[in-house]
A and B are shown apart, each in its own frame.
Chain A
Amino acid sequence: MTRVSNVAHSPLPEIFQSWFAARGWQPRAHQLELLDNASQGRSTLLVAPTGAGKTLAGFLPSLVDLSSLTPNALKKRGLHTLYISPLKALAVDIARNLETPVSEMGLPFTIETRTGDTPAHKRARQAERPPHILLTTPEQLALLLAHRHASQLFADLKTVILDELHALVTSKRGDLLALDLARLHRLSPSLVTIGLSATVREPIDLQRYLVPQLKNQAHQSELVCVTGGAQAKIGILKSAKRLPLAGHTALASMPEIYKAITAHHMTLVFVNTRMQAEFVFQELWKLNDASLPIALHHGSLDVGQRRKVEAAMVSGTLRAIVCTATLDLGIDWGDVDLVINVGAPKGASRLMQRIGRSNHRFDEPSQALLVPANRFEALECQAALGAVEAAAQDTPDARIGALDVLAQHILGMACADGFNTDELYDEICTAAPYATLTREDFDRTLDFAATGGYSLRAYEHFAKIRQGRDGIWRIATPRAAQHYRMNIGTIVESTMLKVRLGRMTKAGTPQRGGRVLGEVEDYFAEGLVLGDTFIFAGEVLRFEGLIGNEVIVTRAAKGIDPKIPAYAGGKFPLSTFLAERVRAMLAYEKEWKILPPEVREWLEWQKEKSALPKKGELLVESFPSGDRFYLALYPFEGRLAHQTLGVLLTKRLERARMKPLGFVCNDYGICVWALCDLGEAMRNNSLSLDDLLHEDMLGDDLEEWLSDSSIMKRAFRYCAVISGLIERRHPGQEKSGRQVTVSTDLVYDVLRRHEPDHILLKAARADAASGLLDLKRLGDMLKRIRGHVVFKALEKVSPLSVAVLLEIGRESVYGEAAEDLLADAERSLLEEAIG
C-alpha cells in the first residue's frame, strides 16, 4: 500500500482513474509528481530501483496530454513524444507494454517504433507523417535530426523520455545523445525532458544532462526519488569446499548453487563474462540430476537462440538461466525469485541493478546470493554487502564530451538545415558533457570535419562542408551526406566471426555444413591453433580452421576437457568504491570473523609471513622463486590501472638494468619478475621504491610507451571511424584480397610523425587515458601512497602473492614485445635449418 505524499496532486483524468481502478492499482506518488512537473513545463529526473513503475510514470504525462486533444487536433498533430532507450529490444518491449493501456483505454493516438531493423519505406514514412509517440534509439534520433526537414518534424515536440539514462550517459553514445538533445531543445523551446534512471551516486549529473546548460550557470531538472520498497535480502553462499586462492570458475560452489536453484521457482545466475557463463552452464548440467530446464544466454549466442531463451523465461518454463550483462537492462522478466551473482560483483551499483531484477514487485524484498570464486573475491563480496546495506553507489564521474563525436555531430547538423558557427557553438555548449568546450577546440573540430583539420591546407578543394556567402555551413556534396548517414553512431564493433559447425573431409580439411552457433571476437579466433578445444554455446568444440570469415568447429570427443581456460578477466575492473572497502576490511581484523575460515586463515598467514596493508598504505613485497626475482604490489585499483602500472614499472626496471621479464596482474595486485635480485637491489640502495613509484612515470615514460602501443592505435582507430575520417566496415563489404581501405595504424603513424598535436590524436589520447588505462585512478593512487609504502623483503612467495601469481597462464602475461615473438619465429627457422 503506497502512501500518497502530502503534496496535493491534480487528479488524473477520469479515463485514467477508471483504468487504474479496473486493475486494482493506485497511482503512485512519484507518478503523480512527475505528471505535475511535466504539466508545468518542468523537466524531471526520476530515480527509482527497478520495479517501481518507472515506465508508466515516464509516459503518463504524454498519455494524459494527448488524451485531452480533440480528434481533429489529434489528426493535425505531428510528433508529440519521443522515447529513447539504449536497446532496440527495449524500445520494442516498451511499445508492447504501452499499447496495452492505450488500447484498453481506447485512446486514439499512434505509437510506433523506429530502430535499425525498421524497413526503409516505413522509416521514410515516419519522417514525413510521424506517429504521435515514437520509440527509438539514439542513433535513429541522430539520423532524424540530420534530415533537411528536421526542424519541421520536431517543431511541436512536447516531451522526450530518456530511459535507462544512467546507462546511456557513461559512454560516447551519451555524448552524441546530449548533442542531439541540445538540438531538440532549440527546435522546440518548450520541450520537457523526463529521465528515467536507476539509483546513482550523483543524480545532479543526470539532472544537468536533461536540460540546456547556460554559460556560467549550471541548470538542472527537478528530481523525484522513489524511496522505500523492501530492502534486498542478500547473502553470501557458503560452500562446503574450501575456496581456492585464485581462479574465477567458482567450481567449489557449484553444488550449493544447484541446490539453491532447486529450492526456488526461477533463478538468474549472473556471471561477469561469456566464458564464465559457458563454464557455469556446463558444470550445472553435470549436477542436474533432476533434469531441471536450465538455459544459457549471452551476447555471442545466435540471435535465434537468445530469443528462444527469452520467450521461455517469460512463459515461465525455465528454472534457471545462466547469463551475462546482456540480460541486464530494464526488461521485465517473469517471476524470478532469486538472483545469484557468481564471482565478485565488481561494483555495488551493478550488484544493485542485478538484484533489482528479481521478484519484480516493488514492495516485496528481492533475494540475492553472492558466490565468491576465490579468497580475494570473498573479501570483495563481503565489502559489496556492506555497500549495499549503506545504499552507497559507485557511479563513474560525469563524462567530458568526446571530440570525435562532436565532429560526427557537426557533419549531421550541416546535413540538416546548415548552421551558423557562433550559434552552433552556443548550442553545443548547452549540452552538459560539452559545457566546458573551448571555442578553440570547437573551431579545430569544425575544421577537421570540413577538411581533415591539417595545418597543411591541402584539402580546401575537397571539403565535406562549406560555408556559403550567407555565412551558413552546409554539407558540400550528396556523397558526403551519404557517407555521414552510413557512418552514424558511436559503437565501433570489433569484428565478430561466426562460429559454425562443420565436418572434416577425408583429406582432413574442414568444411562448412552445420549451423551457426554464435559469434566470437576476431582476437579470440586469432589466438586459436588447429585442435584447440574451447567451450561455446554450451558444448566443448574443437577448432578445425577458418574458412573465409567463419570459425569452423566440430564437437570435441566426449570427455575431452577444453584446452582454452575460462577467460578470467571480465570487462569491468574493481570499482574505486569497492576497492576502498576491501582495503578497509583487510586492515581491520575484527571484520574477519564474518569471512569463511579458509579466507581468515589465509589472511592470518599473510600477517604472519609478511604484513597486511593498512588503509592508506601500499604493501610491496620482494621474494625469489625459481630462478627469478619478484616484486609484488597490492594497490587494489583494478586491472586496468594495474596493467598501466605494470608496463611503466617494467620500463623503469629496464632503465635501472634490473632485466625485467614480464608481469601479471589482476584487480587486486601486480607481480613483476626480473633476472636481477630486486630485493638485494633495494637493500643496497641501487633501486629505490620511491623513485620506482614516482608519479613522474605518468609523464615521459607514459607518453613514450603510449604513442607506440596498441592501446593508442586502437583508440585512434575508434576515433577515426566515429569522426568520419575512415569509413565503417559494413557487412557485405568483405575485404577482397587487396586492400580496400587504408589501415588506421598507417594513418596514425604518419599523423604522429608530421602533426603530433592534431585534434584526432588529442581525442584518441583522451580515450586511452580514461577508458583503457585508468590514468586518473593510477595517478590518484601514486599521490596517495607517497610516503606510505610498506616494504617487506621475503625469502619466499607470500600467501597474498600466490593468488596473483596463479593468474599466470590465465591472463596474458605482459612484457613480450612483438619483436620477441618475431625473434622466436626466426630462431625456430634456424633450428630447423641447422638440425
Chain B
Amino acid sequence: MNKESAQQSAILSIGGLRLTPDASGVLYESQEKLLIVSDLHLEKASSLARRGSLLPPYDTLDTLRRLSLAIDRLRPQTIISLGDTWHDTHGPSRMSDDNAALFSALRKNMDWIFITGNHDPDPPHFSSARVMDEIQMGGVYFRHEPKAKITEPEIAGHLHPAAKLRAKGRSIRRKCFISNSTRCILPAFGSLTGGLNVLDQAFNALFPEQKFLTHIVSSDQLFTVGPQSLVSD
C-alpha cells in the first residue's frame, strides 16, 4: 500500500464537504481551501511549569512550526482553529514575542476563525480573525466539543482521539482522526497533547455500535483502520 493510495482512500464525505485527513494532523477541504486544526493547546508547558512540571518550553514554537509547514503545503484560504487553541486563559500573555510574531505571520492573508473551547472560552480577538462558538459551512457544523445527539453533520475536537493496536506481541498507540458518515473528530494537534483511546466510553455515544473508522497518523503516513483491529488501553 503506497502513500498516495493510503491518503486518497481516506476522503471523508460529510455533509456537502469532501474532507481529507492529512498526515500532519489537520483536516483539509480542497474545494473550499479550508484547513481545520484542533486543540493546539498553546503555552501548555508554561502552564504546567507554574505547577512544578518544568517541561521543555518549546511546545508553542514546535506546534506553530508544524502548523506552518502544513499551511505552506496545503495553501488554504480559510483556517478554523477548532477550540482549545490556548491551554489556559493567560496563555496569550505568556507567549514570547518571537512566537507571537510567528503566529501573527501565520494569520496574514488568511481568514482565521477561532472556535471557543473549554480551556479557552474567551480567546483573544486578533484583527482580521473571528471568534465564534460554532460555525456552519457546507451544511456541516464546526464546534469544539462534539454534541451527543446531532441532527446535522459535525466536525469537532476536544476528545484527543488515539488508536491502539496490538499484533505479534507488540502494541502501538497513535493519535488519529475518528469518523463516520456524519461526523469527524480531529486529533489534538498540540505538541504536548496526548490522546484518549477511541474505545473509551466517551466515544460510545458519538459513534453508536462502534461504527467508525480511524485514520492513524504515523511518521508522515496515514493509515485507515477499523475498530475490529483496535484494543483498549
Contacts and interface: CB of A to CB of B under 8 A. Distances in A.
B192 A454 contact: no
A735 B173 CA distance: 16
B194 A737 contact: no
A823 B174 CA distance: 14
Given A747-B192, A821-B170, A754 B218 contact: no
B56 A826 contact: no
16 contacts: A456-B58, A527-B169, A739-B160, A739-B194, A739-B195, A746-B191, A754-B58, A754-B61, A816-B170, A818-B218, A819-B219, A823-B223, A825-B229, A826-B1, A826-B224, A829-B226
A750 B62 contact: yes
A816 B46 CA distance: 38
Contacts of B232: 546
A interface bracket (residues with beta carbon within 8 Å of B): 35 or more
A755 interface: yes
Nearest to B224: A826
Interface in A519-572: 526-527, 529, 546
A25 interface: no
Interface stretch (A28-36, A163-171, A194-202, A457-465): A457-465
B62 A462 contact: no
Given A750-B191, A812-B169, 18 more contacts: A452-B56, A456-B57, A462-B52, A464-B54, A527-B166, A527-B171, A726-B53, A737-B202, A738-B196, A742-B48, A742-B53, A747-B192, A749-B191, A754-B62, A758-B56, A822-B165, A825-B223, A826-B224
A480 B52 contact: yes
A725 interface: yes
A460 to B, nearest CB: 11
Interface string B192-233: 111110001110000000000000101101011110110011
Chain A to chain B: the 7 pairs with minimum beta-carbon distance, closest first: A452-B54, A527-B169, A458-B57, A754-B58, A825-B229, A822-B223, A739-B194
Nearest to B202: A737
A671 to B, nearest CB: 18
A406 B62 CA distance: 29
A454 B96 CA distance: 15
A819 B218 CA distance: 7
A56 to B, nearest CB: 47
A753 B64 CA distance: 13
A753 B54 contact: no
A827 interface: yes
B150 interface: no
A273 to B, nearest CB: 16
B52 A750 contact: no
Contacts of B195: 739
B49 interface: yes
Contacts of A751: 56, 58
B108 interface: no
Nearest to B49: A462
B148 interface: no
Contacts of B191: 746, 749-750
A828 interface: yes
Interface in B29-69: 46, 48-50, 52-59, 61-62
A758 B232 CA distance: 35
B194 A747 contact: no
A743 B194 contact: yes
Contact of A483 (B46, B52, B196): B52
A479 interface: yes
| Most chain B C-beta atoms within 10 Å of own C-beta, residue among A451, A725, A735, A822 | A822
B102 interface: no
Which of A725, A754, A826 counts the most chain B CB atoms within 10 A?
A826
A104 interface: no
A750 B192 contact: yes
A749 B48 CA distance: 18
Given A824-B167, A825-B165, A454 B196 contact: no
A801 B13 CA distance: 54
Given A452-B56, A462-B54, A747-B56, A823 B1 contact: yes
A822 B216 CA distance: 8
B57 A459 contact: yes
A493 interface: no
Nearest to B226: A829
A750 B196 contact: no
Interface in A713-767: 725-727, 735, 737-739, 742-743, 746-747, 749-751, 753-755, 758
Nearest to B6: A826
B101 interface: no
Nearest to A737: B200
